[in-house]
Amino acid sequence: MCIQKIEVWLSIESLENKIKLTISDTGTGIAQEVKSQLFTPFFTIKDSGQGLGLMLVHEIFTLQGFSYKLTNNENAVGASFEVTIPGANIPLDTTHK
């Protein structure tokens, strides 16, 4: 069995009247035919999946007025999921206590 090391990054940006949260990884990315169906009810690529998780994410984000997008990274390694939360103006403290 070959174990692939995947790195994951979390980025939070405070923009004017919104927050942008981005989660990126160094995995294999997402095939276009899968990407176009990911938020469709009952679509899954998992053996034991039910295809409800990302559909619920879509519903919750839509009801809350959040926007989101899923893209393969420009460097052809991994993917990124970006969520924009409007109406949020939270100063981000970069110090750790």
**In this structure, is residue 55 part of a structural domain?**
yes
Supply the range of the domain harboring residue 47. Answer: 8-86
Give domain status of residue 72, yes or no.
yes
Residue 46: Cβ within 10 Å count = 8
**b or e along 56-78 (b: 16 or more beta carbons within 10 Å of the residue's beta carbon)?**
ebbeebeeeebeeeeebeeeeeb
Q: Is the pTM of this model over 0.95?
A: no
pLDDT, tens only, 24-33:
999 988 888 8
CATH at residue 66: 3.30.565.10
Domain assignment of residue 68, yes or no:
yes
Query: What domain count does the chain have?
Result: 1
Residue 62 pLDDT = 92
